[in-house]
Amino acid sequence: MGYPVRALGVLVAVIALFLVAKWVAGPAYLGLFDTDRSQNVELWASKPLQYADVDRECASCHGERVETWQKAAHQNVSCESCHGPAESHLSSGVSLAIEEPAELCIRCHAALASRPVSQPQVNVEEHAGPIACTACHNPHQPSLAGPPTVPHSLEGREGWCTVCHGATGVKPFPEDHAGRTSGVCLTCHQSPGYVSPISTPTGPSVEPTQPAGPPIIPHSLEGRSECTACHGLTGFKPFPADHAGRTKEVCLACHNQQ
Amino acid sequence: MDFTRRGFIKGVLGGVLGLAVLPALLKAPGLYLRRASAAPTIDLADGGGGERHWGFVVDASRCIGCGLCVQACKRENNVVMEPEYNRTWVERYVYTEEGEVFVDSPEAGIEGFANAPANLKYAGLDIDKSHFVPKLCNQCENPPCVQVCPVGATYKTEDGVVLVDQEHCIGCRYCIQACPYGARYLVPSGGVTPMGYSKVVDKCTWCYHRITKGLRPACVEVCPVGARLFGDLHDPESPVAVALRDHPPAVLKPALGTKPRVYYLGIDTEVR
């Protein structure tokens, strides 16, 4: 009768001794391997973002770009697909300018046999050669149907585009065109039926200060300095609708006297 | 008096044999039925016990092999930039006229395939067809990786995502061996996981920190062609539910019974 009780006593004593020893001198990892991982789930869920996933929010600062993009073929391509993770841009204004745009274009649009046929693809060498993609394509509105055609005659006006359409001209080009010279305009802006007499469209090396001019003024200007009296939107020979807001001071910049 | 040695041995052997065979007999019809059906049906509602039931759809017929997903994944999750270590990657499948299949994934596809070197293995052969297949962790319903972890460091969350507790991971690589999809890697000594550990196992979490905030995984967000879709399968209007409504999805290696929750559209049976 005494033996089983003694054995049990020894067992209990050994377990108790082990627990005490573990508590006092056991290594830190003992008991660490519990099965409850709920804290770890929280930890994973709390990791910081790099990609912000806020395409719509981009519009609060970059409204015009976003509007263009939303209407164009790239509307399903997220801002961050090309511009990269935007969280740092949102929190501390790190620039998201794209350094090598062509590399991004090629990623998706170089001709590859493995790509679905529905994907627009070009043989880059044949299609563009050394010309940068962005010389013709606006990444926010990549289709070439995009840039407006030249609505007026180019007779005697080729190479003088920036006189009227430069940043300070009467009908300036968009801000992102800054720095472009007259020689490149016709690469993208087509003029139906016009054949360039200039073999190499390089344009004048020094930008001219006098326009070659849209329609010349067929009448004398004696006592007629108030152009908009007759040619304003409500006049009896109104100027085109896209001239709205122009004042008499600028008419002679483009329209020469007889 | 009936209790003879012969009788005893007969009884024991018969009993053991019976116990061994009976369950197999009971199971057998189901087993054969499942193997015989050509297209195993996938029960999309069969998910974790959580409120949400995340699902991921890869439409391989849309993938253009741009590799933006691989790049975004590495940036978002602090994955080592060396091409050997990936949470997600893009494979190129090439089928020759002779019926051979070649698979490659130069640099895991992170630079895209536009400038990737030609695969000389099929140079000169007549190509029948070719397409891309994005790969990532399948977040299996029955994850073999979780089963084999000796320290219980890898586990499945309530909403069905398989995560690694990197504080507990001892880097033994059993799970890397067990994963039939090659979705896990050991962080090299130079690299650090989002948790700040190296020499532990890391894997795709479906961007757990993003999906729990209502955002899409980074790879899904940057995909320019909608080849990767993510959402709650319980929500009939989610992109994944819509994509799966009209198309019977496939999963990778269905015969293994892992019940993957990445559903593939537009792939052949050769894709594993």
Listed residue (A229, A220, A80, A43) closest to B72, CA to CA:
A80
Domain ranges of chain B: 54-138+205-265
Question: Residues B248, B72: contact at Cβ < 8 Å?
Answer: no
Q: Which of A168, A204, A161 is nearest to A185 (CA)?
A: A161
Enter the tokens of residue A217.
């003024």
CA distance B1 to chain A (A): 36
State the nearest Cα–Cα gap between A148 and chain B, in angstroms.
Answer: 27
Nearest by CB to residue B61, choosing from A77, A107, A116, is A116
CA distances to A65, A126, A162, A168, A178 from A175, in Å: 11, 30, 13, 11, 6
Q: Each residue of A134-143: b (16+ CB within 10 Å) or e?
A: eebbbbbbbe
With a cut of 70, which residues of chain B have pLDDT below it? 1-2, 23-50
Q: Give per-10-residue mean pLDDT for chain A (258 aa).
A: 86 94 76 75 94 81 88 90 91 87 92 91 87 85 72 77 84 82 76 53 40 70 83 84 79 73
DSSP 8-state symbol, A234: T
| Residues 1 through 60 of chain B touching chain A, CB cutoff 8 Å | none
Interface test with B, best of A55, A80, A114 (most B CBs within 10 A): A114
**The domain over range B54-138+205-265 is classified in CATH as 3.30.70.20:** yes
* pLDDT value of position B46: 52
Chain B contact set for A94 (CB, 8 A): none
Of A41, A85, A116, the CB nearest to B76: A85
What pLDDT score does B38 carry? 37
pLDDT at A209: 43
The helix (run of H) or strand (run of E) holding residue B68 is: helix B68-77
What pLDDT, on the 0 to 100 scale, is given for residue A179?
Answer: 81
Q: pTM of the entire structure?
A: 0.68
- C-alpha angle B210-B212-B214 in degrees, rounded to nearest 5: 75
Q: How much is the pLDDT for B39? A: 41
